[in-house]
């Protein structure tokens, strides 16, 4: 990672997210494109008795009106108390760059027919090598030191591990992802009533594992699925309720998925119509929904 950052030649800013205080940069390392994301680490006083744990150093008051004070401060930082999280994609493909570039969004209405015509071919093109990182976690021992729970059963098995987005420190921004072993579920559309016992078991195992390790109750956790996801291999997001949901236009809570499947029967979500938004440069918009009008 060090050598990638030191060789990184900045070209442009793809996006900035003021709310989560992050910036996404596009540049080159040697002759290949790279995307670097820098995100300020969340404040955390987990378990500490006083605010010295925050590491505030110098403080300067800038303004003051009645009971309202405003100022700036510096904070101690080192690798145990880092100021930023860094994610790099290198080499980055055009699909990665599209995904991270700030774009106008469009609302789409995905009927069962448009799913078959536009979305299913797109999903097929997004399997294989693009989800290599998933197979690395499932079968090649990647990120093994962080795995909270692993069950290798080819049907019911899964790996529960911290999502890339979690800083691994702050409990209130806890973010896990449960990636399943089976590869016959590409998205929400592939779920039907036969999956109810499977999903119910998955939910219980995830909740118990998080409770045992972090003491968080099911009422403090959000378990949900994205549609469209970025990666078409079934996975469940597990976050602390305090964490603002980001990234995807449409997410559905696992509890609601399980409940709806009881009514949807063996056809499952294949007959549903979904409304969600996607970026204008997303292939599903540019090469799909935009041409339907």
| Distance in Å, CB of 235 to ligand G7M, minimum | 6
CA distances from 72 to 82, 83, 134 (A): 19, 16, 42
Residue from 85, 189, 226, 279 touching ligand G7M (CB under 6 A): that is 226
| β partners of residue 275 | 109
Q: Nearer to ligand G7M by C-beta: 55 or 87? A: 87
| Burial class of residue 167, CB neighbours in 10 A (0-12, 13-18, 19+) | middle
162 is in an annotated binding site: no
DSSP reduced 3-state for 232 = coil
Instruction: Say whether residue 25 binds ligand G7M (CB under 6 A).
Output: no
| Distance in Å, CB of 291 to ligand G7M, minimum | 24
What sign results for the dihedral spanned by CA atoms 275, 281, 286, 288?
Answer: negative
What is the rounded CA–CA span in Å between residue 28 and residue 98? Answer: 16
Q: Nearer to ligand G7M by C-beta: 161 or 216? A: 161
Q: Name the residue with tokens 């540019």.
A: 286
| Distance in Å, CB of 87 to ligand G7M, minimum | 8
Instruction: Say whether residue 85 binds ligand G7M (CB under 6 A).
Output: no
Q: Per-residue contact track with ligand G7M, 180 to 219, x per CB under 6 A?
A: ----------------------------------------
Instruction: Say whether residue 44 binds ligand G7M (CB under 6 A).
Output: no
214 is in an annotated binding site: no
Residue from 15, 163, 167, 255 touching ligand G7M (CB under 6 A): that is 163
Could you tell me which residues come within 8 angstroms of residue 220 by beta carbon, excluding any fewer than 6 positions away? 240, 241
Establish whether the linkage from the previous residue to 91 is cis, with ω within 30° of 0: yes
Interacting residue ranges for ligand G7M, rule: CB under 6 A = 133, 143, 161-165, 177, 226, 229-231, 247-248
- Residues forming the active site: 235
């Amino acid at each position: 990672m060090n050598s990638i950052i030191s060789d990184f030649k900045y070209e442009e800013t793809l996006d900035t997210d003021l709310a989560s205080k992050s910036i996404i940069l596009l540049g080159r390392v040697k002759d290949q494109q790279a995307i670097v994301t820098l995100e300020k680490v969340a404040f955390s006083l987990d378990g500490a008795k006083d605010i010295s744990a925050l590491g505030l150093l110098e403080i300067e008051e800038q303004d003051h009106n009645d009971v309202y004070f405003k100022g700036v401060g510096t904070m101690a930082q080192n690798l145990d108390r880092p100021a930023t999280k860094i994610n790099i994609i290198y080499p980055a493909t055009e699909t990665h760059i599209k995904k991270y570039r700030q774009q106008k969004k469009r609302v789409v209405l995905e009927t069962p027919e448009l799913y078959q015509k536009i979305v299913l071919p797109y999903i097929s093109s997004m399997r294989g090598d693009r989800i290599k990182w998933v197979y690395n976690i499932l079968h090649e021992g990647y990120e093994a030191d962080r795995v909270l729970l692993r069950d290798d059963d080819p049907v019911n098995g899964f790996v529960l591990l911290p999502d890339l987005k979690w800083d691994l420190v702050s409990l209130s921004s806890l973010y896990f992802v449960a990636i399943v072993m089976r590869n016959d579920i590409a998205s929400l559309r592939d779920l039907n009533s036969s999956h109810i016992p499977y999903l119910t078991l998955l939910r219980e195992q995830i909740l118990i594992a998080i409770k045992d390790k972090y003491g968080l109750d099911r009422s403090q956790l959000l378990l949900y699925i994205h549609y469209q996801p970025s990666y078409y291999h079934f996975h469940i997001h597990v976050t602390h309720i305090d964490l603002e949901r980001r990234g995807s236009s449409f997410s559905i809570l696992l509890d609601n998925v399980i409940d709806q499947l009881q009514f949807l029967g063996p056809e499952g979500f294949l007959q549903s119509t979904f409304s969600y938004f996607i970026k204008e440069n997303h292939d599903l918009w540019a090469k799909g929904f935009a041409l339907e009008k």
